[in-house]
């Protein structure tokens, strides 16, 4: 079985957010990690590899330094890493990103494509289903469990108040929730392999069946009109009461003042 896992290097949102003058993100200025949902997707692929035997290829699109997450994935147990990077691909929205990744995946053989549900920078959850759409294969989003039976996958698909057990033919694309599993750590042997591993680098010319008008900032239908830090409403009052009785009297007093009680 051949599995392609799409991963993204994302800025760690805990460290604060920085912008370029044009309103796009200044990724270079932020600490970078492997996106958590993608890591769960990778772990799911590695478990299928452990169980059934599989070749796991990790693929990412980004700046040259995104090769770091590919090496991390190889250190966890992935077999190959592919970096899609090219200046003309920069500033892509989800349409242009999914077009690019689909163009890269067309060069590969695959039974299963796994992506994370969403990345913690954009939070859109759009790229996975859109890759499937460009490739013309079925998509199962929000996977909380994945099993393989012959040439089929059986997936628990999460909804708000229920889940569906779905069966799909392969090839198929699955988007993984971080609830799916607890990703493994890199192993010393894996880290050794990762250092030695050769990362394949593809540019625009290596993308199959894509048009320039659908790539990068220019090929993105959505445009940023404005981006800024969120302005919050600000703190109200805070008290440090002497006793629980004081605390209760304070809250009850406020509720009376506001005619809540």
Stretch that binds another protein, among 48-56, 66-74, 196-204, 250-258 (CB under 8 A): 250-258
**Rounded to the nearest whole angstrom, what is the least distance from the CB of residue 130 to another protein in the complex?**
4
Chosen residue from 21, 185, 226, 259 binding another protein by CB under 8 A: 226
Minimum CB separation of residue 106 from another protein in Å reads 15
Q: CA separation (Å) from 261 to 237, 247, 249, 255?
A: 20, 17, 13, 6
Site for another protein in 49-108 (CB under 8 A): 93-95, 98
Q: Is 218 in the site for another protein (CB under 8 A)?
A: no
Q: Does 29 bind another protein (CB under 8 A)?
A: no
Closest distance of CB 148 from another protein, Å? 14
Tokens of 203: 């540019």
CB of 58 to another protein, least distance (A): 22
CB 140 within 8 A of CB 177: no
SS3 157: strand
DSSP state of 242: S
> 105: Cβ–Cβ under 8 A, 6 or more apart, which residues?
4, 59, 113, 131, 135
Is residue 58 within 8 A of residue 82, CB to CB? The reply is yes
For the bound state, the minimum distance from the C-beta of residue 146 to another protein, rounded and expressed in Å, comes to 13
C-alpha span between 152 and 111 (Å, rounded): 9
Choose between 90 and 138: whose C-beta lies nearer to another protein: 138
Q: Choose between 71 and 94: whose C-beta lies nearer to another protein.
A: 94
The residues in 101-140 that bind another protein, with binding defined as CB under 8 A, are 120-130, 132-134, 136-140
Using DSSP's 3-state secondary structure scheme, residue 84 falls into strand
When the beta carbons of 205 and 240 are compared against another protein, the nearer one is 240
Quick check: 251 binds another protein (CB under 8 A)? yes
Q: Is residue 200 within the footprint of another protein (CB under 8 A)?
A: no
Give the residue carrying structure tokens 């625009």: 204
Q: Give least dist CB 84 to another protein, A.
A: 18
Of 26, 29, 195, 250, the one binding another protein (CB under 8 A) is: 250
Q: What span, in angstroms and rounded, lies between the C-alpha atoms of 242 and 238?
A: 13
Tell the residue number behind the tokens 């199962």, with chain if given. 140
Q: Which is nearer to another protein, 161 or 209 (CB)?
A: 161
* Among the listed residues 107, 106, 128, 109, the one whose alpha carbon sits nearest the alpha carbon of residue 117: 128
- Residues 3, 48: Cα–Cα separation, whole Å: 9
Q: Among 168, 145, 147, 139, which Cα is nearest to 157's?
A: 145
Give the shortest CB-229-to-another protein separation in angstroms: 6
Q: Between 144 and 183, how does the x/- string for binding to another protein read (CB under 8 A)?
A: ----------x---xxxxxxxxxxxx--------------
Q: How far apart are CA 16 and CA 75, in angstroms?
A: 28
Smallest gap, in angstroms, from Cβ of residue 37 to another protein?
10
């Amino acid at each position: 079985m051949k599995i392609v896992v799409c991963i993204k290097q994302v800025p760690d949102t805990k460290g604060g957010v920085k912008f370029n003058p044009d309103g796009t993100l200044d990724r270079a200025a932020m600490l970078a990690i492997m996106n958590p949902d993608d890591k769960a997707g990778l772990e799911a692929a590695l478990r299928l590899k452990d169980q059934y035997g599989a070749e796991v290829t990790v693929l990412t699109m980004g700046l040259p330094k995104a090769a770091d997450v590919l090496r991390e994935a190889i250190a966890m147990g992935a077999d190959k890493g592919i970096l899609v990077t090219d200046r003309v691909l920069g500033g892509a929205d989800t349409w242009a990103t999914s077009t690019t990744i689909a163009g890269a995946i067309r060069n590969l053989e695959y039974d299963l494509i796994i992506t994370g549900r969403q990345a913690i920078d954009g939070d859109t959850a759009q790229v996975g289903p859109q890759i499937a759409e460009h490739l013309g294969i079925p998509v199962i989003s929000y996977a909380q469990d994945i099993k393989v039976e012959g040439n089929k996958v059986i997936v628990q698909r999460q909804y708000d108040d229920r889940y569906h057990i779905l069966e799909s033919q392969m090839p198929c694309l699955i988007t993984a929730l971080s609830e799916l599993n607890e990703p493994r750590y890199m192993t010393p042997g894996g880290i050794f392999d990762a250092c030695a591993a050769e990362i394949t680098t593809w540019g625009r010319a290596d993308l199959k069946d894509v048009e320039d008008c659908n790539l990068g900032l220019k090929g993105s239908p959505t445009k940023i009109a404005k981006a800024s830090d969120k302005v919050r409403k600000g703190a109200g009052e805070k008290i440090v009461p002497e006793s629980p009785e004081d605390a209760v009297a304070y809250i009850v007093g406020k509720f009376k003042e506001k005619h809540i009680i």
